[in-house]
Amino acid sequence: MEKTLIILKPDCVQRRLIGRIVQRFEDKGLTLAGMKLMHISRPLAERHYAPHKGKPFYPGLIDYITAGPVVLMVLAGARAIDTARKMMGKTFGYEAEPGTIRGDFGVSKTFNLIHGSDSPASAETEIALYFQPAELLHYTTAAHSWTDKPGET
């Protein structure tokens, strides 16, 4: 079962969209393997976004992700990374298609509501930044037999 890290960013939390977005992922058939509310420290944000260091948007990105509380989630399911990214929509809300999270709730180029891992390697690295292995659960719901066909990963 594939896992991905999702961060509901400070603007998402401040706009009280947490429940609506979690519901979308659950409705799609993804399973919550871990979840927490926290304030990301500047050093942790710098580790998370290290691949972007030196880019013009990097300082603003660090200021943004540390500006308020975030919700961190690990979602699990078949093709969880690709599924979550499609559900999130294009990075800039004004470019995102209606029906996606950013398309339905975002218009800003700066405040884009949500982060999701972009590959299995980044998911593994990002999850380890925020969750200890013991904080992640593996369980099966009754719905799994209808959403995750064995052999379809």
Instruction: Using the structure block, give the residue that is written with the tokens 């660090």.
Output: 62
Q: Is 48 labeled as catalytic in the residue annotation?
A: no
Q: What is the rounded CA–CA span in Å between residue 95 and residue 109? A: 9
* Catalytic, out of 39, 48, 52, 115: 115
CA-nearest of 150, 147, 16, 17 to 75 is 147
Q: What gap in Å lies between CA 46 and CA 54, rounded to an integer?
A: 11
Q: How far apart (Å, rounded) are the C-alpha atoms in residues 102 and 90? A: 7
In terms of Cβ atoms closer than 10 Å to its own Cβ (0-12, 13-18, 19+), residue 42 is: exposed
Cα separation values, 123 from 18, 60, 74, Å: 21, 23, 9
Residues noted as catalytic: 115
